[in-house]
Amino acid sequence: MKTLFERLDAAIIARKSLVCVGLDPDPARMAIPDVLQFNKAIVGATKHAAAAYKLQLAFYEALGLPGIKAMAETAKYIQDTAPGAVVIADCKRADIGPVAAAYARAMFEVWGFDAATIVAYMGADTVEPWLQYPDRGIYIVCRSSNAGAKDLQDLRVRQGDHERRVFEWVADASSRWGMAGQNVGIVVGATYPEEMTTLRSAHPDLPFLIPGVGAQGGDADAASRAAANTDGRGFIINSSRGIIYASKNPAHFARAAREECERLRDQINAALASIGTQKT
């Protein structure tokens, strides 16, 4: 049985792409009103150039039961029509053991996601239930992409002779809690490339999920160079609004999404080639 990140790495190699497409449906911005049909069109147009898809659950929950139904059907559609692509639930769940176990069952057994994002603020026992699925995985929020990340994540904490920023302690703990490169990765925002460089240097085997490119101002070139491991991979860069809302024209939005996905794929690959690490 392959681990989550072995499957993701295979998808990256097969598609020669480190792009993750974020499917975040906003009725005010969608080219067509039907969420499922919108998502199907985006997936159909990008499945050759996307190694993963990330569904931000808040957007589906905000639409009530029809949104939840569209979420479940979108996840299944990706698995049926884009074989090998990893499907991530961006849910950022966080709670104590029994509740975390229920969250993990929901994401992995009920909805069938391959991976989920979680927050580990309450410690190891909130992470452990997610690790009971050998073919699934989690990304622990470490260095988020928002401007307010500095409010808490930059605080310096001393333990014994060691002093590190909070996000560095989170990365250290993430490496201990799981099997780095197999079932645990971390979320690191593209808006903080210097911190990303620090984290990659300290944790060469941790997979990175990188949000914040495009609308949030993150730079794909800088993020790619900072995040690459010795194989020239070890990360995926997510783009949501920049891809799925590339056009609001009902006749052309899927084509525009394909072009933006390919553009991001090529930009990442060019950045890696420029530093001699591209091996996809």
Residue among 12, 3, 1 nearest 234 (CA):
12
Which candidate, 66, 73, 78, places its Cα nearest to that of 42? Answer: 78
279 located within any domain: no
Of 76, 92, 150, 279, the catalytic one is 92
Find the mean pLDDT for residues 225-251. Answer: 95
The C-alpha angle with vertex 236 and arms to 142 and 92, in degrees rounded to 5, equals 40
- Residue type for position 63: L
**pLDDT for the residue 240:** 95
Q: What is the CATH number of the domain that holds 190?
A: 3.20.20.70
- Total of domains in the chain: 1
Instruction: Supply the pTM of this predicted model.
Output: 0.95
Residue 213 pLDDT: 87
pLDDT at residue 226 in the model: 95
When pLDDT is averaged across residues 238-265 and rounded to a whole number, the result is 97
pLDDT at 6 (0 to 100): 95
Q: Is 57 part of any domain?
A: yes
Residue 53 confidence (pLDDT) = 98
Query: Mean pLDDT for the chain?
Result: 94
Q: Indicate the pairing of strand 162-165 with strand 156-159.
A: antiparallel
Residue 77 forms part of a structural domain: yes
Q: Is residue 280 domain-resident?
A: no
In this prediction, what percent of the chain has a pLDDT beyond 70?
97
Lookup: tokens for 10: 């295979």
Q: Is 92 a catalytic residue?
A: yes
165 in helix, strand or coil?
Answer: strand
Residue 215: what pLDDT? 67
Range of the domain at 154: 4-274
pLDDT in tens, 51-104: 999 999 999 999 999 999 999 999 999 999 999 999 999 999 999 989 999 999
Position 7 scores a pLDDT of: 96
Q: Is the pLDDT of residue 181 over 70?
A: no
pLDDT per position as a tens digit, 142-168 = 999 998 988 998 899 998 888 999 999
